């Protein structure tokens, strides 16, 4: 089955796979790494918008490593999951200082870079060096679990390792420089365009005749994942203070610490946050309390957490200050160029 499977995937990729994604136009580990990290938690359509801008601003790993982190976060703004941008910057510096400016040439070496896990390292090594290593991102887990009717619970790390072993056994064995990139891309393309979580398009799928889940008409029973993510909730009060300046409205923003207890929005610029309404009120002079305007609360959904955002607006006279609130004043136009969390960007854009 192994060689039949890889041959079918490769043949399908040549005729039906994706060939014109922006990151497929360039070779080399830097651009592949960049696109793989962006694609880890962001939809292809969004990455297609961000990737060319990012590459234009940071065309080499050297330019990325030399850039201030704030510039990287600003350009990442809108893609979410900012830990990736912080890790990208750290990894670029690792490449420059620990690897003499060259990316490691094996998956094992690539895994030493911050933010590069086993699957991402395998994708880079397969695409750039033709190394015989298996990717296993969410989409590929779904494809392989269905093809093999894999009964293991993928919430269990030991079962994931077992599926990884099976993924390795399915890899091409010949002409690896050519077959590994095509096969790896083919699996990604099948996961993205055919083998959807709901209602997979088995009729168009090149491996339908050997896919155990499809043959037994039980596609949606796989992959098996029993453990549910535990979600938490958090309420934050955000002080949306504005004042007139020579360039129009200015807004008070606070850069969140990189090493604070909460990693949410670390390094980004936010409206000053408070843990409670009382804490916010205590930071604002008593005389301004009658001018505080409480906006309707809204929910911002993160992977593991629902954040309830309570925005409290206050308009201050020109040049006034809020000494008990940390932050800096930015003209609105300048603020929108900073690295901002998505809900804060939305609020400021609507200001
Ligand atoms: S045959 Fe259907 S279930 Fe099996 S891999 Fe293809 S699309 Fe997925």
Q: Report which of residues 43 and 146 the model is more confident about.
A: 146
Cβ neighbour number for residue 337 with a 10 Å cutoff: 12
- pLDDT-based confidence at residue 259 (cuts at 50, 70, 90): confident
Q: Are 330 and 221 in contact (CB under 8 A)?
A: no
- Pick the residue with more confidence: 155 or 66? 66
- Confidence at residue 21, expressed as pLDDT on a 0 to 100 scale: 86
Mutate to test the pocket of ligand 1, among 6, 188, 200, 222 (most ligand atoms within 8 A of CB): 200
Question: Taken in order 334, 338, 343, 344, is the CA torsion positive or negative?
Answer: negative
Mean residue pLDDT of the chain comes to: 92
Tokens 């799928």 belong to 205
Number of helical (H) and strand (E) elements in the chain, helices listed first: 15, 8
Percent of the chain whose predicted confidence (pLDDT) is above 70: 97
Distance of CA 349 to the CA centre of its chain: 23
**Which residue's alpha carbon is nearest to atom 1 within ligand 1?**
208
Cβ-in-10-Å burial (0-12, 13-18, 19+) of 141 comes to buried
Structure tokens that stand for 59 in this block: 């065309």
pLDDT digits (tens, 9 = 90+) for 314-350: 999 888 889 999 999 999 999 999 999 989 999 998 8
| pLDDT over 80 (residue 152) | yes
273-304 pLDDT per residue, tens: 999 999 999 999 999 999 999 998 899 988 78
Q: Using the mean position of ligand 1's atoms as its centre, give its distance from the Cα of residue 42 in Å.
A: 23
22-25 long-range Cβ contacts below 8 angstroms, 24+ apart: 22/48, 22/51, 22/52, 23/51, 24/185
- Closest CA to ligand 1's atom 8: 195
Residue linked to tokens 């982190």: 69
Q: How far apart are CA 253 and CA 325, in angstroms?
A: 10
Instruction: Output the pLDDT for position 343.
Output: 92
Q: What is the pLDDT of residue 79?
A: 85
| Predicted pLDDT of residue 2 | 67
- The atom of ligand 1 lying closest to the CA of 205 is 6
pLDDT digits (tens, 9 = 90+) for 166-195: 999 999 999 999 999 999 999 999 999 999
Catalytic, out of 36, 111, 151, 220: 36
- d(CA 37, CA 30) in angstroms, rounded, equals 11
Q: Quote the pLDDT of residue 228.
A: 67
- Is the pLDDT at 165 greater than 80? The verdict is yes
- Asked about 151 being catalytic, the answer comes back as no
User: Taking Cα atoms as reference points, which of 315, 292, 297, 345 lies closest to residue 241?
Assistant: 315
Residue 236's nearest CA partner among 315, 309, 288, 321 is 309
Q: Give pLDDT, residue 225.
A: 86
For residue 220, whether the previous peptide bond is cis, meaning omega lies within 30 degrees of 0, is no
CB atoms within 10 A of CB 30: 22
- For residue 263, which of 78, 82, 10, 55 has the smallest C-alpha distance? 82
68-105 confidence digits (pLDDT tens): 999 999 999 878 888 899 999 999 999 999 999 999 99
Q: What does the pLDDT average to over 2-25?
A: 91
In order of start, what are the domains of the chain with their CATH numbers?
Answer: 2-221 (1.10.340.30), 232-349 (3.90.79.10)
Average pLDDT over residues 213-232: 88
Q: How confident is the model at residue 119 (pLDDT cuts 50, 70, 90)?
A: very high
> What's residue 157's pLDDT?
92
Ligand 1: does its nearest atom lie under 6 Å from the Cβ of 170?
A: no
From the CB of 73, is ligand 1 less than 6 Å away? no
The CA 48 to ligand 1 mean position distance, Å, reads 26
pLDDT at 314: 95
Residues 6 or more apart from 103 whose CB is under 8 A from it?
29, 30, 33, 61, 95, 110, 113, 124, 128
pLDDT band at 261 (very low <50, low <70, confident <90, very high): low
Neighbours of 120 (CB within 10 A): 22
- Of 27 and 53, the one with more pLDDT: 53
pLDDT value of position 192? 93
Residue 6's alpha-carbon distances to 135, 189, 299, 303, in angstroms, are 14, 14, 45, 33
Q: What percent of the chain clears pLDDT 90, i.e. is strictly above it?
A: 79
Token pair belonging to 351: 């200001």
Q: Which residues pair with 299 in a beta bridge?
A: 308
The whole-angstrom separation of Cα 74 and Cα 251 is: 17
Measured from the Cβ of residue 60, the count of other Cβ atoms closer than 10 Å reads: 14
Instruction: State the pLDDT confidence band at 260, using cuts at 50, 70 and 90.
Output: low
C-alpha to C-alpha distances, 297 to 165, 203, 311, nearest whole angstrom? 48, 46, 7
């Amino acid at each position: 089955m192994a060689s039949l499977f890889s041959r079918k995937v490769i043949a399908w990729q040549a005729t039906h796979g994706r060939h014109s994604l922006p990151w497929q136009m360039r070779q080399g580990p830097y651009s592949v790494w960049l696109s793989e990290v962006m694609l880890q938690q962001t939809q292809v359509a969004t990455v297609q918008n961000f990737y060319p801008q990012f590459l234009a601003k940071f065309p080499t790993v050297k330019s990325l490593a030399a850039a201030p982190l704030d510039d990287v976060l600003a350009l990442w703004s809108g893609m979410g999951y900012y830990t990736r941008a912080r890790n990208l910057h750290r990894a670029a510096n690792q490449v420059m200082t620990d690897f003499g400016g060259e990316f490691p040439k094996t998956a094992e070496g690539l895994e030493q870079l911050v933010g590069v896990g086993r699957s991402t390292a395998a994708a880079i090594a397969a695409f750039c060096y033709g190394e015989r290593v298996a990717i296993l991102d969410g989409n590929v887990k779904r494809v392989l679990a269905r093809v093999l009717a894999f009964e293991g619970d993928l919430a269990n790390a030991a079962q994931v390792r077992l599926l990884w072993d099976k993924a390795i056994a399915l890899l091409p064995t010949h002409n690896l420089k050519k077959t590994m990139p095509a096969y790896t891309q083919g699996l990604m393309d099948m996961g993205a365009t055919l083998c959807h979580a709901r209602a997979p398009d088995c009729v168009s799928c090149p491996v339908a005749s050997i896919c155990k889940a499809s043959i037994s008409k039980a596609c949606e029973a796989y992959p098996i994942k029993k453990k549910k993510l535990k979600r938490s909730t958090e309420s934050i009060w955000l002080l949306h203070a504005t004042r007139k300046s020579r360039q129009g409205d200015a807004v008070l923003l606070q850069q969140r610490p990189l090493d604070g207890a909460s990693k949410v929005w670390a390094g980004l610029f936010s409206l000053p946050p408070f843990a409670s309404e009382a804490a916010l009120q205590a930071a604002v002079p008593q005389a301004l309390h009658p001018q505080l305007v409480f906006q309707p609360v809204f929910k911002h959904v993160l992977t593991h957490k629902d954040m309830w955002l309570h925005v409290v607006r206050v308009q201050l006279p020109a040049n006034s200050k809020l000494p008990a609130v940390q932050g800096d004043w930015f003209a609105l136009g300048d603020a929108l160029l900073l690295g901002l969390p998505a809900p804060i960007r939305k609020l400021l854009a609507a200001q």
